[in-house]
Structure 1
Amino acid sequence: MPAAHSAAPSPDQQLLDLITASGFVGIEELARRFEVTPQTIRRRVNHLCEQGLLRRVHGGVSVPALNANVPYTRRQVQNLAAKQRIAAAVAEHIPDGCSVSIGLGTTPEQVALALRARRDLRVITNNINVVNALAGRSDIELTMAGGALRTHDLDVIGSAAARCFNAFRTDYAIFGVGGIDEDGSLLDFETGEVVARRAMVDNCRQALLVLDTSKFGRRAIVRGGHVGDVGHVFVDANPPPGYASLFAGAKPVLHVGPMLAVCSTEAGVQAGGAETESTQAGSAQTGAARIIDTQESTS
């Protein structure tokens, strides 16, 4: 299946990507990098700060406070081209006719959009954005976790979501995280997010972590799980040097770079893109796409 083509990042997106990767950049440096006047950069920075995507600090600009997540609609446009490349690679990895659990976050949402190219899927999710991406497909059966809805993110977390994931054993679990520490700890912003995510990973045959490089070193307050517990990690570029040892062993398999080739520290980048694994799926059921609330209680 040919990879989806994405439009070149806008100037604002390039600005966001640079500052997200660096953490802090001075106004004069930004003006030099983008070959514009400091006044022009200040106008663009002020516009992005008003949207909550950046924050002004003395001498320059930084990302928002890292112990609080930015609004979902704003995260949807951050690093969008990278997320779309990751999603296309994950869709190549997932075969037709399998079962998939998909978690919360904007990168899993992009994966759901890419999975429209697959057929005969059974999808379990706690993310209404995933449901919206896949609804209307007669050969994709959707199960949505019941429970209290987080209206700002349109998802269900905590024990309600965990009960849903615990009721299934999927071929694949696709999830994102708020951040990754240098020791490999997986981080999120709320305990309920971790509870739901760990239930997904505990109840799948193969776990796929999807993230862009801004998540390396990003602080979030709740720790749950380790990158070594994951089968595959899909990322848009090489992790920072301090994270290389996390991928030195056989697990997880790291899919990295513009074409998201399979990479290991010993073998290097192998040609051919992301590997595809066949499964004994047989779990997809053909029929009208529908949302099934499996929860009898949300307490």
Structure 2
Amino acid sequence: MNNGHILRTTGQPAELLSAEDRMGAILARVGVHGFQSIDALAALFGVTTQTIRRDVNALCDRGLCRRRHGGIDVLPEGENVAYPARQILDREAKRRIARCVADAVPENASLFFGIGTTPEECAHALADRAGLRVMTNNLNVALALRGNPSCELTIAGGRLRKLDCDVIAGEAHGFFSRFSVDIGIYGVGGVAEDGSLLDFNHDEVRMRTELASHCRRRFLVLDHSKFGRGAIVRGGHITEVSCVFTDQAVPSPIAAMLEAAGVALIVAPPSHPPTL
């Protein structure tokens, strides 16, 4: 059995992986190669088809993939991963990004926070920062900051997306235009090869574009999975931000665009130095 790729990814033979490591490897394989059959995955990992079915069910129940007859596949184009699943997907990478963002935010700053899990992690990293004034349409951000007695919070009103805990519908349009702040912290659904910023519906793009138009510095926060990721609604370009915070080296054409536009690129260091 050829499990060399799994060995390089995880540091151990496929048949010795824990359930969580195996599911992570399955998810990565589906992301690269698309549909994977139950039988092929069982052979690859050296486990029974019943074990793989349990893994597939767990991944699909978390909203990370979709079931197809006889196997597992990526989510349909234009459909985002469910928010609870996104909260655990690449969590350590998002936390490393958030620590870098926190280093760049001074005390007494005024901030916009957009929707998504990486801005939420940034809020957690700033939970003890003194004197912040925060405007957001992301209730998860508000909850992360609510325990800070010196943080002033203003939340967009309107119809709540219950699973995502954010407000993006028409009633919230115009919220960010009422303010002018030091820094806007926001993510995107994906970044196209030409640097276009992508999201999953028009309301998300409208709120993000409005946020970016009313802050003096724009911090785009996103993990490596967003580069080349499919989302269907365009709005803005990566060269229009002040700084990009991410966890891995970005594609070379994107790096060249950022350098030419004078956009700062911050790649979060690993949590632990590599073992020599």
Larger deviation, residues 78-87 vs 99-108:
78-87
Measured in 2, the distance between the counterparts of 1:133 and 1:78 equals 19
Aligned to 2:144: 133
Match of 2:212?
A: 201
- Bigger relative contact order (CA 8 A; separation at least 6): 1
Partner of 2:211: helix, strand, or coil? helix
Partners of 2:116 and 2:42 lie apart in 1 by: 32
Change (3 A) 1:42 1:120: same
* 1:45 partnered with 2:60: no
Correspondence for 2:74: 63
Contact 1:26-1:60 at 8 Å conserved across structures: yes
Equivalent residue pairs, number: 251
Listed one character per residue, the Cα deviations across residues 2-42 of structure 1 (whole Å, up to 9, x for unaligned) are xxxxxxxx526633662475253746886688x54363444
Alignment partner of 2:128 out of 107, 110, 117:
117
Question: Letter of the aligned partner of 2:248 in structure 1?
Answer: A
User: Which shows bigger deviation, 144-153 or 126-135?
Assistant: 144-153
Q: Report what 2:110 is aligned to.
A: 99
Q: Distance in 1 between matches of 2:31 and 2:23?
A: 12
Whole-Å Cα distance in 1 between the matches of residues 128 and 25 of structure 2?
31
- Percent identical: 45
**Selected match of 1:18 from 6, 28, 37:** 28
Flag structure 1 segments of 5+ consecutive residues without an equivalent: 1-9, 261-299
CA–CA distance in 2 between the matches of 1:154 and 1:46? 25
- Matches of 1:86 and 1:109, distance apart in 2: 11
Deviations 1:16-75 (A, max 9, x none): 662475253746886688x54363444312321233312345886432113111221121
Q: What is the CA deviation profile of residues 155-205 of structure 1, one whole-angstrom value per residue up to 9, with x for unaligned ones?
A: 111444342211111110000111111111111111111111111110001
Selected match of 2:247 from 221, 236, 242:
236
User: Which residue does the alignment assign to 1:164?
Assistant: 175
Name stretches of at least 5 consecutive residues in structure 2 with no aligned partner. Answer: 1-19, 272-276
The residue aligned with 2:232 is: 221
2:74 maps to a residue whose letter is: V
* Residue of 225, 241, 257 corresponding to 1:246: 257
| Cα distance in structure 2, aligned partners of 1:126 and 1:13 | 33
Distance verdict in 2 for CA 1:164–1:16, change over 3 Å? farther
Contact 2:23–2:55, Cα closer than 8 Å, also in 1? no
CA contact (8 A) 2:219 2:241 kept: yes
**When the two structures are superposed, what TM-score results if normalisation uses the length of structure 1?**
0.75
**2-structure distance, mates of 1:63, 1:257:** 27
Cα RMSD after superposing both structures? 2.7
